[in-house]
Amino acid sequence: MKDLFRSSFSRYVLVLFFAVIALTVAGRVVTLTGAEAFCKGWPLCKPTAPVGWMKLAHISTAGIASLLMLAVFRKAWREQRDQRVLLPLTTILTVVFFGQALVGAVQVTQPGAAHLIFLHRLTTWALWISLLLLVYASGVLARDAEPVALDQKQRWKDFFALSKPLIVGLLLITTYGGLVIGGKQFPSFSLTLWTLLGGALAAGGSSALNQYIDRELDRNMQRTAKRPLADGRLTDAEGLAFGLGLSLASYYILASFVNALAALLSLAGIVYYVILYSVWLKKATVQNIVIGGGAGAIPPLVGYAAATGTLDWTAWILFLIIFMWTPPHFWALAIVRMKDYERAGVPMMPVVRGEMETRRQILIYTVELVIVTLLLPLLNLAGTIYLVSALVLGGALLYAAWEVWKRGGNKVAWRMYKWSSSYLVFIFLAIMVDAVAR
């Protein structure tokens, strides 16, 4: 017991704890006394009655607590980089702390919004639970450590790589496609900004958590051995904290600035990819990519929900397009990297059922994908521009899949993998142009 709270980090956390208590008490007093009405303004206010000073005291306490929160956050990332409990817990607490403030501020402009009221209450509980856990964990686990001199430029590059920026970019194109198609026009700058920012954080956070889960597996694969966590350039704690922080922040942004449905869909995508695919399916079944493809198909639903607040047949067909696109895209890569997956023990289709069967499945799924893309014009949900584009692009993709089936070999499979990425971009561009032009 004598070693409890001996570190400077744990003492910082204790001071933060008491500051949050003071902030909570001050906020409660403001509510009970109605001090809000006697000191209007933000970030500071001028009291018009003695009770108004309580509101000013509350604002001042909030400022002090915020500075302390930032100090604890900075100290954790400088001194507790190897702590797989402390660093993620501090990051979660920081996001929840400022998320609470964000939701409270947005509630002023959206009074009575049920999802914000619920989120504010839920965040209050999450704040106190995470703070109490951090107080205890820091007292037990934290140790003083001299900050290590690090190459900050390289670290920024590594964190950027941890988010898988190419995948994030592809997902944002499909998200924006959902936005345009749902609204049948190019959306406002603010809606675009918050939807894509929330989507980018969700995708980047999911990718970081995926790399944290797969860090040992990645070390056994040539394609992934140089990833930041697999190569040891970032610690496991940093990868976990980064992923959790981005994922949480994405929910607060979408819930506060977009709508509840978009936020919940994004959260579902994170859970789907991280838990269902990364933790369970990837190593459990040859159908990992087929079932797991649902995670990558959620972004257009997020965009569509952001524009409309609902989901209809158009949205679900967009979901199906990406769901059917995923297997032939990744199986083409799996053929090229078959030895990597075999060495890592991942039951990808070429490893379990052989290259010939994989090539056949690529062709079958590509045919099904092209049929799905034609549902939009067949149901009068898209026009001539999209129909012509879908036929041309689909024909080119079918030819690539046919070559994979007939000729085989890594060169042809790699061409299919690269072209299928471009195909998804072009088909969503066609959907957007058609939606605006109709």
Mean pLDDT across 122-151: 87
Q: How far apart are CA 154 and CA 314, in angstroms?
A: 43
**421 pLDDT more than 80:** yes
Q: Tell me which amino acid residue 113 is.
A: A
What pLDDT score does 382 carry? Answer: 93
Q: Which residue has the higher pLDDT, 126 or 45?
A: 126
Please state, in angstroms and rounded to a whole number, the distance separating the CA atoms of residues 58 and 328.
57
What integer pLDDT is reported at residue 42 of this predicted model? Answer: 65
Amino acid at 40: K
Whole-number CA gyration radius for the chain: 25
Nearest residue to 317 via CA among 198, 181, 438, 433: 181
Could you tell me which residue, 130 or 54, shows the higher pLDDT?
A: 130
Query: For residue range 141-179, what is the model confidence (pLDDT) as tens digits?
Result: 888 777 677 778 899 999 999 999 999 999 999 999 999
pLDDT, averaged across the chain: 91
Amino acid, single-letter form, for residue 30: V
Q: Is the pLDDT of residue 2 over 90?
A: no
Mean pLDDT of 349-369: 94
314: its two tokens: 């158009």
Tell me the C-alpha distance between 234 and 362, whole Å.
36
**In contact, 276 and 296? CB cutoff 8 Å:** no
- Whether the Cβ atoms of residue 205 and residue 246 lie closer than 8 Å to each other: yes
CB 23 within 8 A of CB 86: no
Residue 47: pLDDT band by 50, 70, 90 thresholds?
confident
pTM attached to this predicted model = 0.93
Residue 210 has pLDDT above 60, yes or no: yes
Low-confidence winner among 136-150, 179-193, 244-258, 408-422 (lowest mean pLDDT): 136-150
pLDDT of residue 31: 80
Determine the pLDDT at residue 48.
80
- Is 273 in contact with 295 (CB distance < 8 Å)? yes
Q: pLDDT > 90: what percent of the chain? A: 72
164: left (phi over 0), alpha (psi -120 to 50) or beta: left
Residue 1 confidence (pLDDT): 46
Mean pLDDT of 361-384: 96
183 pLDDT band (50/70/90 cuts)? very high
Distances (CA, A) of 393 to 304, 326, 370, 386, 402: 23, 16, 9, 10, 14
What pLDDT score does 113 carry?
81
Mean pLDDT value across residues 170-198: 95
User: Given pLDDT bands bounded at 50, 70 and 90, which one contains residue 199?
Assistant: very high
Q: Cα–Cα distances in Å, from 99 out to 41, 56, 92, 102, 105?
A: 21, 21, 10, 5, 10
